[in-house]
A and B are shown apart, each in its own frame.
Chain A
């Protein structure tokens, strides 16, 4: 992505954000009784930024980068993951997931692209949580604000983590972070992809560009513009409506499962404590 193409509204001070996020990672991991972090590394912008932040916050030897290729994972994914791992000197482990994914679908059949993509995401989640026990580190999430709002992720898959330093940064803002942190230029220059199937790109699948949707989300979500105001400002009505609908329709992914209330005090409803309770 060309950083110059990012609209002024979405510009951040990456140095300031880095200072906050490194302290956040250190504090949240230490208060949970840990000193180490586990990150699923794909060679993409999100996981690269998170690995850089974790290495800076905790020291590279306290970060485990886990690569989990599936048979269709691209060569670029492998090369770029290794570039990040080598540049930072973090610990790493490679756990291919082809055998278990293929064994599962050989048994149940009807493997669609979507089901394979979701199954891979959830398989990777279980590996990260298992590695977190072995490495004695917390799983650090990599879902960015664009993905979280659009619901462009797999619930209990790549959206699962213990702490997430980048969930309040839009994709275009993560590029600014990456450039500031020194993420390899190959990672910055390639089109964003979940590597879900051969040739897949985020923007191709979503049907819009991150620079456009991030600006729309910033106005809609952060600045509370109404749909009519957005359309009047020049956004196409179909684009506005589609994005607003994605945000609403995928809200369930951002919440804990709904609990049916019966008693006086119900978990997540009127039993209200901060997660950092007592720490």
Chain B
């Protein structure tokens, strides 16, 4: 079959036949302990229990939720494989609930990644390794982590096609563009963003995240869930402010800034369909045109 530009849907798209049309996503805005995986595992188990009581079908933890953020020279000591017993324990505890959590992944080649997994039914379905490791200003991630090399969505049993981005990944339009080409239903962004800028009504960087989430939700026609941690590490204040945004760009649920909270976002899958009827951006996307233009830029920049 010839590939046509417009109208070609992703082949892996499963027919949307979810058991429920209403989803309850728990945003676990926690303050992990820096470099103490045992206490963090206990914290995750507590949150899973709370989410279960609120009948959540997915719980999302922040970036590096099992380790804390400024891990520095602790990285090799804290790294585990995605098959680690503590991750299995989390999945077991979650039961029918799907789980996203952040961890340091050690590859068989002993590279260390800032990673987040999506698991459901007791199995890991997908691991996203953070691609864009900020190494400027207060950040020094490239010193400690290897950069992920893939940005891929994945199919889930209940939520359709889902993508995970980690913090800085969300700041790169290309990552969002790939997610648009993947025609995802839900974007999960897990982050550890420190507060900067107290000259306005709210924390400046929190405003930026809100803009990003709202814009991307509308442009992707997808639900965007941002889960950002709280707490302090070496004077940095992680601001929280986790949020869920519907495909129309409106806020579905908003966690508080600065304080720990488990906030459940409730949304109807029908919103995705309705938004795509109103604004069918993904349908009209010219993927092959984009690829052609990117290839032209690639030739000019790297092959001339």
Instruction: Collect the chain A residues with CB atoms within 8 Å of residue B200's CB.
Output: 13
- The contact string, 1 if C-beta is below 8 Å from chain B, for chain A 165-176, is 000000000000
Whether A277 contacts B198 by the Cβ 8 Å rule is no
Instruction: Collect the chain B residues with CB atoms within 8 Å of residue A11's CB.
Output: 199
Q: What separation, in Å, do the CA atoms of A11 and B199 have in the docked complex?
A: 6
Verify if B72 is at the interface (C-beta below 8 Å from A). Answer: yes
**Segment 231-273 of B: residues with Cβ below 8 Å from A:** 231-235, 237, 258
Whether A28 contacts B232 by the Cβ 8 Å rule is yes
- The contact string, 1 if C-beta is below 8 Å from chain B, for chain A 55-91, is 0000000000000000000000000000000000000
Q: What separation, in Å, do the CA atoms of A123 and B202 have in the docked complex?
A: 41
What total count of A-B pairs have CB within 8 Å? 56
Instruction: Collect the chain A residues with CB atoms within 8 Å of residue B148's CB.
Output: none
Instruction: Collect the chain B residues with CB atoms within 8 Å of residue A19's CB.
Output: 258
B interface SS class: loop
Query: Which of A13, A271, A272, A273 touches B199 (beta carbons < 8 Å)?
Result: A13
Whether A16 contacts B35 by the Cβ 8 Å rule is no
For the complex formed, measure the closest distance between the CB of A271 and the CB atoms of chain B, giving whole angstroms: 7
For the complex formed, measure the closest distance between the CB of A217 and the CB atoms of chain B, giving whole angstroms: 15
Whether A23 contacts B233 by the Cβ 8 Å rule is no
In the complex formed, the residue of A with least CB distance to B259 is: A23
Instruction: Collect the chain B residues with CB atoms within 8 Å of residue A278's CB.
Output: 33-36
Verify if A231 is at the interface (C-beta below 8 Å from B). Answer: no
Most buried by B among A11, A19, A27, A276: A276
Whether B199 contacts A276 by the Cβ 8 Å rule is no
Instruction: Collect the chain B residues with CB atoms within 8 Å of residue A134's CB.
Output: none
Instruction: Collect the chain B residues with CB atoms within 8 Å of residue A13's CB.
Output: 198-201
Q: What separation, in Å, do the CA atoms of A272 and B35 have in the docked complex?
A: 13
Whether B35 contacts A277 by the Cβ 8 Å rule is yes
Verify if A275 is at the interface (C-beta below 8 Å from B). Answer: yes
Q: What separation, in Å, do the CA atoms of A17 and B200 have in the docked complex?
A: 10
Instruction: Collect the chain A residues with CB atoms within 8 Å of residue B235's CB.
Output: 24, 28
In the complex formed, the residue of A with least CB distance to B35 is: A278
Whether B237 contacts A23 by the Cβ 8 Å rule is yes
- The contact string, 1 if C-beta is below 8 Å from chain B, for chain A 12-52, is 11001101100110011000000000000000000000000
Verify if A5 is at the interface (C-beta below 8 Å from B). Answer: no
In the complex formed, the residue of B with least CB distance to A25 is: B232
Whether A17 contacts B198 by the Cβ 8 Å rule is yes
For the complex formed, measure the closest distance between the CB of B237 and the CB atoms of chain A, giving whole angstroms: 5
Verify if A256 is at the interface (C-beta below 8 Å from B). Answer: no
For the complex formed, measure the closest distance between the CB of B253 and the CB atoms of chain A, giving whole angstroms: 21
Whether B237 contacts A274 by the Cβ 8 Å rule is no
Most buried by A among B35, B199, B231: B199
Q: What separation, in Å, do the CA atoms of A24 and B198 have in the docked complex?
A: 15
Query: Which of A16, A24, A272, A279 touches B34 (beta carbons < 8 Å)?
Result: A279
Whether A274 contacts B232 by the Cβ 8 Å rule is no
Whether A273 contacts B74 by the Cβ 8 Å rule is yes
Whether B203 contacts A16 by the Cβ 8 Å rule is yes
Query: Which of A24, A271, A276, A279 touches B237 (beta carbons < 8 Å)?
Result: A24
Q: What separation, in Å, do the CA atoms of A27 and B231 have in the docked complex?
A: 8
Whether A23 contacts B258 by the Cβ 8 Å rule is yes
For the complex formed, measure the closest distance between the CB of A26 and the CB atoms of chain B, giving whole angstroms: 9
Whether A277 contacts B258 by the Cβ 8 Å rule is no
For the complex formed, measure the closest distance between the CB of A243 and the CB atoms of chain B, giving whole angstroms: 22
Whether B72 contacts A272 by the Cβ 8 Å rule is yes
Verify if B154 is at the interface (C-beta below 8 Å from A). Answer: no
For the complex formed, measure the closest distance between the CB of A54 and the CB atoms of chain B, giving whole angstroms: 16
Query: Which of B72, B195, B198, B199 touches A274 (beta carbons < 8 Å)?
Result: B72
Verify if B73 is at the interface (C-beta below 8 Å from A). Answer: yes
For the complex formed, measure the closest distance between the CB of B261 and the CB atoms of chain A, giving whole angstroms: 14
In the complex formed, the residue of A with least CB distance to B230 is: A23
Instruction: Collect the chain B residues with CB atoms within 8 Å of residue A275's CB.
Output: 234
Whether B201 contacts A20 by the Cβ 8 Å rule is no
Whether B36 contacts A276 by the Cβ 8 Å rule is no
Instruction: Collect the chain A residues with CB atoms within 8 Å of residue B203's CB.
Output: 16
Extra pairs beyond A16-B201, A24-B232, A274-B234 (10, CB < 8 Å): A12-B198, A16-B202, A20-B237, A24-B237, A28-B232, A276-B233, A277-B74, A278-B33, A279-B34, A279-B36
Name 17 A/B residue pairs within 8 A (Cβ), A-sorted. Answer: A12-B198, A13-B198, A13-B199, A13-B201, A17-B198, A19-B258, A20-B195, A23-B237, A24-B235, A28-B235, A273-B72, A273-B74, A274-B70, A276-B70, A277-B35, A278-B34, A279-B36
Q: Which of B's residues lie within 8 Å of A, judged by CB?
A: 33-36, 70-74, 195, 198-203, 231-235, 237, 258
Q: Which of A's residues lie within 8 Å of B, judged by CB?
A: 11-13, 16-17, 19-20, 23-24, 27-28, 271-279
Considering the complex of A and B, which 5 residue pairs feature the smallest CB-CB distances, nearest first?
A274-B70, A272-B72, A17-B198, A274-B234, A272-B73
